[in-house]
Amino acid sequence: MNRPLRILVCAFGPFPGVPVNPSQLLAGDLLRLRRPALSDIEIALEILPTRWDALARLDARLEALDPDAVLLLGVAARRRSLSIEMLAVNAARAAPDAARKHPSARRLSAGGPPLLHSGVPAERLANALRRAGIAAGPSRDAGRYLCNASYFHALSWAERESGRPRPVLFVHLPRREGRPAGVSRARMGRGLSHILLALAAEARRGTYALKSMG
């Protein structure tokens, strides 16, 4: 590869009940973070409107940027620890978005598989975050809202790009603050940088593989 490793970081803007989305704030922190280990990684940021029609914008961004890895961030205000999502389901809940619009269909892809499973080692990442003082764990439920939908779209893109492994991961940030109780925003940023480095390592090794599940 004749260029720096390129990672797309996606987060969301406000939505009903969450006027300031912490995923957007923490994604911005990642761009400003200065760590020698990140010096050879090019981070691109995309803040998606929390709208069902923004999924087409995500698809276009993935095709245009052609990233080596993708990290998606969203907020799950009722959770108390960071959730490393292991899979996305081919389903959408009939819930209004920030524009009060509903999804056009109950399935995200008419011909797609029921599930897409990320190959990123969630338990290992969770252990590393816990050692850094951040409550975290793997999760098998990304919901049926735009977080899950964006994950399904990104995993579908990675599956199509079969010529080179493209690690994709969705992380749900807890509480309205986007971090577990007692964890500073600076520590959370460092924790997310560990995830970026793990994705970079997976991309460089070339052994990553996602799984479609029928």
Domains, the chain, in order of start with CATH, read 5-213 (3.40.630.20)
Q: Give the range among 26-35, 56-65, 105-114 with minimum mean pLDDT.
A: 26-35
Question: What is the chain's mean pLDDT, rounded?
Answer: 91
pLDDT at 1: 56
Tell the burial category of 68 from Cβ atoms under 10 Å away from its Cβ (0-12, 13-18, 19+). Answer: buried
Read off the tokens for 70: 């993708």
Read off the tokens for 158: 């990675």
Instruction: Find the mean pLDDT for residues 69-98.
Output: 95
Q: pLDDT for 61-78, tens place per residue?
A: 999 999 999 999 999 989
Percent of the chain residues topping a pLDDT of 90: 77
Q: Are strands 82-85 and 136-139 parallel, antiparallel or unpaired?
A: parallel
pTM for this structure?
A: 0.92
Strand partners, 117: 87, 211
